[in-house]
Amino acid sequence: MANTDALRVPVVARPADDPSIALRLQRIWETRAGWIGALASVDHKSIGKRYLVTSFAFLILGGLEAAVMRLQLAQPNQALLTPEQYNQLFTMHGVTMIFLYALPVLSGFSNFLWPLLLGSRDMAFPRLNAFSYWVFLFSGIFLYASFPVGRAPDAGWFNYVPYSSLAYNPGINIDLYALGMVLLGVSTTVGSINFIVTLIRTRAPGMSINRVPILVWGTLTASVGNIFAVPAVSLAFFMLWMDRRFGMHFFDVTGGGQPLLWQHLFWMFGHPWVYAIVLPAMGIVSDGLPTFCRRPLVGYTAVALATVTTMVLGFGVWVHHMFATGLPPLSLSFFSAASFVIVIPSAVGVFAWLATIWTGRPQFTTPFLFFAGFVIVFVIGGVSGFMTAAVPVDVQLTDTYFVVAHLHYVLIGINVFPVVGGIHYWFPKFTGRLMNERLGKWTFWIMFIGFNVGFFPMHILGVLGMPRRVYTYSDGLGWSTLNLVITLGAYLFAFGVLLFLINVWRSLRQGERAGANPWNGPSLEWATASPPPPYNFAVIPTVGSRYPLWESQMTGQTGESTTAEGFLLDDGRETIGTSVLDAVPDVILRMPGDSLAPLLLSIALVVLFIGMLVQSWWLFGAALAASLLATIAWLWPEARLGQTMDIAHE
């Protein structure tokens, strides 16, 4: 290609007419074989699968922690665990599930699927994508290193001061938690930046903002939320570390500090976070349910707007985690009212899903069961939250098992169920094979029944007054039988998860091979092979509606999508950049290829944080220098990427 200028008319090609296109693109986009290739890979599909596998590993660890706790609580006055052991387990259970599973698993789906859903060849920042994975992995290991060194954090995942301050918790455990969270925050932030810029800039031509799948809306919203929320918790943990190890006084009363400052900063992050970990999952349902109801989602615009509204309102309710702290009644009333209002956009979703099922022709596949069952657990979780929105009721319910019920209904119900359903749904796309339907249905029923038997009684336990975060309880308070039932239900649920994992394992080996679109789904990812080639699309698709692959079966569509003909963009790794609202092509983007810089920078960062943890300032300094050098090398302008006056060509 003799393109010497910085301008070019992109070639339009038809892959069906030219088999060499696929070969050429394969060569350009494939990851080099071997372990260096694997470590340097920036393929969003690999990164997505890594996120999924790693977050499931953490899910299992968190589940094991819960299993041990439930054994301890199955009967009153048990001594299976010491109080300290129990407190470490419940803390790490929360940390693991909320930070190391719930968001990363959704990042996994989004990383794999977004470029496919959006008709693109990669995320906007491929190397940053790899970096966000490595930092996630290392921060998870960093946090779990607390177990082998004998001191896991034990002040709860919410880590309130003064209990988490040096005076009451002198060990290295809290520092591990604090610094680990700051490190994880880096991963979350850069991951969010990647999603936002990808959505704004790299959609296929014609994929206007109102044609974007709801999973994309959900992840986008979560990412914008994270951009604004994560700094609060990173700052809180950093300030705590400074109080603990440098004698500062942000939170300690004797120096004029404020214990409640911790809670405000933590929950200013914490509440938007809980929406970040469910909105993309709700998007999975909004995109998956239509496939199995054989019709488009009812109320797409309402659902998209409701997604954004929920996140915006989510920044205005954080005090509802602090209703018992003695704040002024006016403040409590405002946040109580806001907490009622935030239920409204959730109702939009529920009725959209109901309407889609009612007006559609449901197919009782495993994904459908998970997506439909999710609606019930979503509503139960929602109404228990609605009850806690009322301040005078909340001051009874808060810190009891009622809230434990609520949070598990919203987290397991609104995150795990869509995730498991989503894996069944997209498994063929990820791996080229289908999961076993029969085992899948058994999995659903055992998980659903086990979950409800395990967690519904917690509502009752809560109103019978059992507090949270207790390593044991007395007999004679009416709590014993319920706790036993809960333990049994939890184990049944865990068995269901085990069946799911067995299904994944077996299907990877012997699952029925899948074609490009085994479910006859409507969106662009089903136009690629299963699994897709490294370059995703041989030519960039053009999009004419929300459901490109259903256009031929529906009338009244505004335009015609096509994957048969489009921009070839094969002068190295390239994709098309399009305008924000209407996705008009406006630039040819040069994409970075595989690189070890993300991994090296991640390693340097972890060493930096280890230096801070053990307060070895020479280690810190060396790692800082290494990090800066790695960053400079990474950002060094490259001709190949079109960042310098001379643009290089393949």
Site for another protein in 606-635 (CB under 8 A): 628, 632, 635
CA proximity to 428, closest of 509, 511, 366: 511
Task: Please state the closest distance from residue 306 (CB atom) to another protein, in A.
Answer: 9
Task: Please state the closest distance from residue 364 (CB atom) to another protein, in A.
Answer: 7
User: Which stretches of 119-213 are DSSP H helices?
Assistant: 126-144, 173-201
481: contact with another protein by CB under 8 A: no
355: contact with another protein by CB under 8 A: yes
284: contact with another protein by CB under 8 A: no
Burial 234-264 (b: 16+ CB within 10 A, else e): bbbbbbbbebbeeeeebbbeeeebebeebbb
Instruction: Look at the alpha carbons of 398, 404, 408, 411 in this order and tell me if their dihedral is positive or negative.
Output: positive
Nearer to another protein, 36 or 554 (CB): 554
Residue with tokens 């290295």: 172
Q: Which residues are CB-contacts of 206 (< 8 A; sequence separation ≥ 6)?
A: 542, 543, 544, 559, 561, 583
Give the C-alpha separation, 321 to 273, whole Å.
13
Q: Which contiguous run of DSSP H or E holds residue 46?
A: helix 44-73
Give the C-alpha separation, 154 to 84, whole Å.
7
> How many residues touch another protein (CB under 8 A)?
172
387: contact with another protein by CB under 8 A: yes
Which residues sit opposite 562 in a β-bridge? Answer: 542
650: contact with another protein by CB under 8 A: no
Pick the binder of another protein from 45, 121, 244, 590 (CB under 8 A): 590
Give the C-alpha separation, 631 to 640, whole Å.
18
Residues 196-255 that bind another protein (CB under 8 A): 196-197, 200-202, 205-206, 227-232, 234-235, 239, 242-243, 246-250, 253, 255
x/- letters, 544..583, toward another protein (CB under 8 A): xxxx--x--xxxxx-xxxx--xx----x-----x----xx
Residues 503-522 that bind another protein (CB under 8 A): 520
Nearer to another protein, 149 or 584 (CB): 584
Pick the binder of another protein from 32, 358, 481, 505 (CB under 8 A): 358
Pick the binder of another protein from 312, 390, 596, 626 (CB under 8 A): 390
Task: Please state the closest distance from residue 289 (CB atom) to another protein, in A.
Answer: 11
Pick the binder of another protein from 63, 299, 418, 421 (CB under 8 A): 299
Task: Please state the closest distance from residue 604 (CB atom) to another protein, in A.
Answer: 16
Nearer to another protein, 146 or 563 (CB): 563
User: Which stretches of 247-278 are DSSP H helices?
Assistant: 259-276
The stretch near another protein (CB under 8 A) out of 28-36, 432-440, 447-455, 539-547 is: 539-547
In DSSP notation, 405-471 reads HHHHHHHIIIIIHHHHHHHHHHHHHHHSBPPPHHHHHHHHHHHHHHHHHHHHHHHHHHHTTPBSS-S
Task: Please state the closest distance from residue 509 (CB atom) to another protein, in A.
Answer: 26
Local structure of 569: helix, strand or coil: coil
Instruction: Look at the alpha carbons of 209, 213, 216, 221 in this order and tell me if their dihedral is positive or negative.
Output: positive
Q: What are phi and psi of 26, to 5 degrees?
A: -55, -50
Task: Please state the closest distance from residue 169 (CB atom) to another protein, in A.
Answer: 9
Residues 60-119 that bind another protein (CB under 8 A): 82-84, 87
Task: Please state the closest distance from residue 126 (CB atom) to another protein, in A.
Answer: 10
∠ Cα 125 581 124 (to 5°) = 5
Residues 20-39 that bind another protein (CB under 8 A): none
